[in-house]
Structure 1
Amino acid sequence: MSIAFVKNISPTVKTVTGNDVTMIAGFSKAQLQALTQQSALVADMIEANAFTAAEKMFYLDGLDQMARRFVTTFVQIVEVEIEKIYNAVVKSIYDAIETLAGVKMPVPGAGG
């Protein structure tokens, strides 16, 4: 009987996460590349002593804000992904119970 659940849950999670994992990885890579390039530019300017103290702080604060926005956005994307996985797993469990028991099971939160 537990095989019915495994057969339902595993493919469901794979389907839900398949394209999203690729999207998250692409987003992360692009953001980290931009942050790396910006950091290198700021480091070069600091090394060249091209900034006033105020400009230096401005650009360092900008790097901090870039990093914070990246991490905040990344966390939000992952939270959405977790919710999608959770919903898919719950639906899969209820579908398996419905199939095995022959009883219609309204999925919680699905308007069921």
Structure 2
Amino acid sequence: MALDLTQAAGTFVQGISSTVKTVTGSDITLIAGFSQAQLQALAQQSALVAGMIEANAFTAAEKMFYLDGLDQMARGFVNTFVQIVEVEIEKIYNAVVKAIYDSIGNLAGVTLAVPRAAV
């Protein structure tokens, strides 16, 4: 019996979209919470530094020290965010590949070993 390719494609679309929603659902909330907390901390520290600079309360060396600290905070936030996103992409990739292999297995009546990217 030949597969109805339109129906088979629908099976793949359903499987892939369902698994991506499942994988990303709670993770997106977690990433957003992390980002919001980090941005809030960075904004508060920036406001404090701006206030001290405006009040002329820093020596030149102190000013550079605190500005360098803000730079490090920003770099740390961005680097951590990028790493979180990389892990999320690998999780989505694994979920999509599994959905595809599972759908092929169901449609073709076979069991396939699912490859995985390291998470």
TM category (shorter chain) comes to over 0.9
Number of residue-to-residue matches in the alignment: 110
Measure, in 1, the Cα distance between the counterparts of 2:116 and 2:99.
14
Greater Cα offset, 101-110 or 10-19 = 101-110
Query: Cα RMSD between the aligned structures?
Result: 0.9
Deviations 1:81-100 (A, max 9, x none): 00000000000000000000
1:64 paired to 2:71? yes
Which residue of the partner structure matches residue 107 of structure 1? 114
Superposition TM-score, scaled by structure 2 size: 0.90
Deviations 1:62-101 (A, max 9, x none): 0000000000000000000000000000000000000000
Structure 1, unpaired ranges of 5+: none
Measure, in 2, the Cα distance between the counterparts of 1:108 and 1:25.
29
Which residue of the partner structure matches residue 33 of structure 1? 40
Matches within 5 A, 1:73-84: 73-84=80-91
Measure, in 1, the Cα distance between the counterparts of 2:116 and 2:74.
35
Superposition TM-score, scaled by structure 1 size: 0.96
What letter matches 1:53 in structure 2?
A
Q: 1:49 aligns with which of 53, 56, 64?
A: 56
Which residue of the partner structure matches residue 5 of structure 2? none
Matches within 5 A, 1:12-27: 12-27=19-34
Q: Percent identity?
A: 79
